[in-house]
Structure 1
Amino acid sequence: MKLGVFLVLFGGRPFEEALDLAAAQGLKAVEIGTGGFPGTAHCNPDELLENKAARDQFKRAVESRGMIISALSCHGNPLHPQKAIAKEFHDTFVKTVQLAELLEVPVVNTFSGCPGDHEDAKYPNWPVAPWPNDFQEILTWQWDNKVIPYWTEWGKYAADHGVKIGLELHGGFSVHTPATLLRLREAAGEVIGANLDPSHMWWQGIDPVQAINILGRAGAIHHFHAKDTSLDPINVNKYGITDMQPYTSMLDRAWQFRTVGYGHDLKTWADIISALRLIGYDYAVSIEHEDGLMSIEEGLTKAVRNLQSILIEDAPTEAWWV
């Protein structure tokens, strides 16, 4: 496995300076934003698609520092019911797939998106209860008319370009659990897989090790984020796991994102790394630092230090003891 970072963390720094900061931490992979929610601070697909020399320089800047690009990331909502919003996210996704092919990056990370509840809706609708039955009707309409048709078509587009799609299982989007990921994968093909982030499993009440086992047995993990979550039992009982308070209300929230090792202990994280190895995952472990209690530098440094102590990098040897 290769320890890496989601480079949007250094979005305020020039690209090569950001790469230097990642390399100085001993990291071997970078995940780079290409638009959508991650922004284009380090990579503008419109510029790189038209300029081979610029692409070569871009790739060389990463490789000369002993790193790889593990994924291009364009998280957004291409299923947004407002067509102009959906088109912007969709166009960014298409350009990112094209750029990934040219840069020989095997994975594009994004969200599944979430539609509205009917054709003329203005806002996404995320059903989270099976009753009243209206919610089931909405869910069926979304998957039959929006989620499956879109990703069947554009999953094939990505596959035709030699690129896999890593959908981040994130609340608020149609694909947010192992089951919803596998449902879409069954309909749209093996090009669809997870960009699995344990932080979003924990707040939904899902054990990340079990999520890895479920998805890994299906070969459905394309990329992996390393981010932690802490849960406050008092606030969970007060607000529930679908706490709608802003992330900045850290003292009162039911849960909050933490850097690796500050939500769950390193034994838990070692179990996660071992589960990844057990199902044959041998790719990037990409740190996503969104800890509101730590600076960018300190949060990343602590995550790197904690993960380096438990990461399994070498290929397993033969069972010499039998």
Structure 2
Amino acid sequence: MRIGFYTSTFNDRPFEEVVDFAASAGFDAIEIDVGGHIKTPDQVEAAVALARSRNLFVSSITYFGNQLDADRAKREALRGKTAEFAGAIGEAGVPIFVIFPGRDDTASDEANYDDFADFANGLIAQTQSYGVTFAIENWPGPRDNFIGTTPRGWRELFQRIRDTRFGLEFDPSHLIRIGVDPYQAMEAVKDRISILHAKDTAIDPESLQAVGYHSKGWWQYKLPGLGLIDWPRFLRQARGAGFDGTLSIEHEDAAYGWPGKDLAARKQGERLGLDYLRNVLSGL
């Protein structure tokens, strides 16, 4: 497995500085955030070339946005730009394009799944010559209601999107905080995992007891190895299922400068995550 990181942690820094850090720190790969480091589709080629010039594998490019926005104009604008990025990413030879399904609160669950599946199947057909894989991250969204972010949601999507060029950016940290067993969840979708996000979650039982699930402050995202996930078990399971792709560290640990605070602390966090994961992999 390659180990990389998601560049969103350094969205306040020039992309050249980010790739220089990744290379000097010993990372194998990088996952590029559109919002921070590739503003338009015509910038994809240059960004990918810059990363490759530092001997970094570009594992994926990630584009935030609600593909089911209830505002039809916003939805169509986002989908149009998504299709443009998909073509540029395919031309650049990047293997994975990560997007987010979102949700339309004015429509039923079934309508949401049908609509997103139609869009995803269209993207797959339009990029057949490139072979790019589309993946969704199981982030539940700002209101914890995005579709396709739980085992039941994945079943709904995969029933509608049969092509294996549609898969998951599987992030166990989100599952921990919503009460889903990540090991059991991964087993059920092991053949549709395209990339793994390496991020952990810590839970404070006293805070949870005081405020309950629907409040805040009882859980925190952490660097891998600093939360509740058993990474040797998790990565052994992934390897046993045939996964040999990229582990992309998504650093959102407030103890190490996130979000957008002390730069040295953020870099230290990335290095700690890299060292930890390398040690885990060496022992499998």
**Match of residue 77, structure 1, among 46, 60, 66:** 66
Does the 8 A contact of 1:196 with 1:221 survive in 2?
Answer: yes
For residues 170 and 242 of structure 1, the distance between their equivalents in structure 2, rounded to whole angstroms, comes to: 17
1:276 maps to which residue? 238
1:80-159 alignment runs, 5 A limit:
80-118=69-107, 141-143=108-110, 145-159=111-125
Say yes or no: does 1:164 pair with 2:133.
yes
TM-superposition CA deviations, 1:79-117 (whole Å, max 9, x none): 011223323432332222112111111211121111113
Aligned length: 268
- Whichever structure has more helix as a proportion of its residues is 2
Say whether residues 1:200 and 2:174 are aligned partners.
yes
Q: Distance in 2 between matches of 1:181 and 1:112?
A: 11
Counterpart AA for 2:10: F
Q: Give the AA of the match of 1:200.
A: H
Equivalent residue for 2:152? 179
Aligned-residue CA RMSD (Å):
2.0
Query: Cα gap change, 1:3/1:81 in structure 2, threshold over 3 Å: closer, same or farther?
Result: same
Residue 57 of structure 2 is aligned to residue 68 of structure 1: yes
Match status 1:240 vs 2:206: no
> CA distance change for structure 1 residues 142 and 76 in 2, over 3 Å: closer, same or farther?
same
- What is the distance in 1 between the residues matched to 2:188 and 2:43? 37
Verify: 1:29 aligned to 2:11, yes or no: no
3-state secondary structure, aligned to 1:69: strand
Unaligned runs of 5+ in 2: 258-265
Give 1:275 deviation, angstroms: 0.9
In the alignment, which residue of structure 1 is the partner of 2:262? none
Alignment of 1:46-61 (within 5 A): 46-48=41-43, 55=45, 57-61=46-50
Deviation at 1:168, TM superposition (A): 1.1
Considering Cα pairs closer than 8 Å and 6+ residues apart, tell me whether 1 or 2 has the greater RCO.
2
1:310 partner SS: helix
User: Secondary structure, in 3 states, of the residue corresponding to 2:58?
Assistant: strand
The structure-2 alpha-carbon separation of the partners of 1:158 and 1:312, relative to structure 1 and needing over 3 Å to count, comes to farther
Please tell me whether the aligned partners of residues 273 and 312 of structure 1 are also in contact (alpha carbons under 8 angstroms): no
Kept in 2: contact 1:227–1:288 (CA 8 A): yes
Q: Rg larger in 1 or in 2?
A: 1
In 2, the alpha carbon distance for the partners of 1:302 and 1:211 equals: 27
Q: Check the 8 A contact 2:112/2:147 in 1, yes or no.
A: no
In 1, Cα distance between the equivalents of 2:214 and 2:272?
28
Aligned to 2:97, what secondary structure does the other structure show? strand
Q: C-alpha distance in 1, partners of 2:201/2:26?
A: 24
In structure 2, C-alpha distance between the alignment counterparts of 1:42 and 1:290, rounded to whole Å:
17
SS in structure 2 at match of 1:263: coil
Partners of 2:126 and 2:281 lie apart in 1 by 33
Q: Kindly tell me: are residues 21 and 220 of structure 1, through their superposed partners in 2, closer, same or farther at Cα, counting changes over 3 Å?
A: same
Check conservation: 1:97, 1:158, Cα contact below 8 A: no
In structure 2, the residue corresponding to 1:5 is in which secondary structure?
Answer: strand
TM-score by length of 1: 0.77
Aligned CA distance change for structure 1 residues 2 and 236 (closer, same or farther; 3 Å) = same
User: Unpaired runs of 5+ in structure 1?
Assistant: 50-54, 119-140, 246-252, 317-322
